[in-house]
Structure 1
């Protein structure tokens, strides 16, 4: 399966709604409030089952990817993932471009709360131009595959000087049918406090937007930084695929 075949499969599953229209129709005020409150927001039904299955079937197509990572070789956990190469297949390309402007406005608000003098361009290409000028030219969207016994250690997806502070994970498999276990996990480390853990319930096609590194939290003396990490608990059975949508490119 190549990128054109994935695009044909996903387009045929859509009616009059493109991924861009679906993204623009979300309640972004409510999503921003959820991100401010907990560092993540759940978006049900971002991809259809047909789109999810088309992307998952493409995992073994070498032509779609620039590299493959076996987690156990690097101490990242168990399982593996592949980084897509440019050009990205549909609907990944469309989703990345459609989500970016909404998330950039939220990220800009976070910077202001933390007193950071950093502005994000209004379009994804503008931000990628900034990454590429700094030597961050390798695409970071990825497809992850877990099988029984696999898991992903808590981590952050930081790939260079320029880091967009929000990212997206979309579950391509259906819990209870395709796999057991394998929950998406977020941890939050507040200063001088124990880490707080949250499990985010996802169904096939659902997305979670979450903080890549740090997020602002209001305290008695203003806003302070809270460090976030994410991972996946051990898979008990079956096979699980996840699409990771990261907006900054890598060195």
Structure 2
């Protein structure tokens, strides 16, 4: 039965061929960079179809796809659970990782230049993954999260080793108001020169949001300084909320 479910899910994800990459390639990446620089996040609407969202959410019950399962309450991360995919990644997850990275790497390099961080990122994700693996960061980090009533996620940063790609992408796989109530994506910023702020990131089913993983550059009279960001999820009131997290650096 599991094999049949996997085949059905993969068939839904693969149709139409190339649509995932086309939607990513035609996004307004200049606007994405502007939004990231101003807010620390940028929304890419409707990158996944509802059918693709449902199929990816269905992976949660296919244990063979994952290397580990985290019950958040055990580690004081909040309430809910998430699972890290194992290699080889499901085709759709690997394709999203490969297709998003080349658009984000040039922005990441400009950010590192502004913040005087020495690391620069190669043009392809395969090259960057090789850098991570050579440094001992060999465990895949893309993950699938599930929240149910009263679940939430504490504010955090997803840092897994010395090599940290400064962006990650989160896909909302359920529809707010229909499939769940509450459970908003939260982003907070701690700016050493200004009062802190918080944003509720508006998402619909199939939307993706690019988030700054740890810092963003903020211009000052003397150049740029670093402002720290964290993200989390507010308490879910009812229903179920699934998200796919695409993190580009691997873990030790």
TM class by shorter chain equals over 0.9
Deviation at 1:209, TM superposition (A): 0.1
CA deviation profile, 1:161-185 (whole Å, cap 9, x unmatched): 1100000000000001100000000
Equivalent residue runs for 1:81-160 within 5 Å: 81-160=82-161
**Superposed CA offset, 1:116-135 (max 9, x none):** 22211100010000000011
> Which of the residues 5, 9, 14 maps onto 1:6?
9
SS at match of 1:111: helix
- Asked if the contact 1:6–1:89 (Cα under 8 Å) also holds between the matched residues in 2, the reply is no
The secondary structure found in structure 2 opposite 1:93 is: helix
1:40 corresponds to: 41
Normalised by the size of structure 1, how large is the TM-score?
0.96
Equivalent residue, structure 1, for 2:28: 27
More divergent stretch after superposition (191-200 vs 96-105): 191-200
**1:168–1:207: 8 Å Cα contact kept in structure 2?**
yes
Q: Deviations over 1:193-246 (max 9, x none)?
A: 432100001000000001001110111221100000000000000000000000
Unpaired segments ≥5 residues, structure 2: none
Are 2:71 and 1:70 aligned?
yes
Distance (whole Å) between structure 2 residues aligned to residue 179 and residue 167 of structure 1? 24
TM-score (norm 2): 0.96
Contact 1:4 1:89 in 2 (8 A): no
Equivalent position of 2:168 in the other structure? 167
How many matched pairs? Answer: 249
Secondary structure, aligned partner of 1:91: helix
Match of 2:236? 235
Range with greater deviation from structure 2 (82-91 or 68-77): 82-91
After TM superposition, the structure 1 stretch with the greater mean CA deviation from structure 2, 232-241 or 20-29, is: 20-29
- Once the two structures are superposed, residues 9-28 of structure 1 have per-residue CA deviations (whole angstroms, 9 ceiling, x without a partner) of 2113x2x6421121111111
Aligned to 2:199: 198
Partner SS, residue 237 of structure 2: strand
Instruction: Encode CA deviations 1:78-134: one digit per residue, 9 max, x unaligned.
Output: 000000011111311111000001100100010111122221110001000000001
Q: Unaligned 5+ residue runs, structure 1?
A: none
SS of the aligned residue for 1:119 comes to: coil
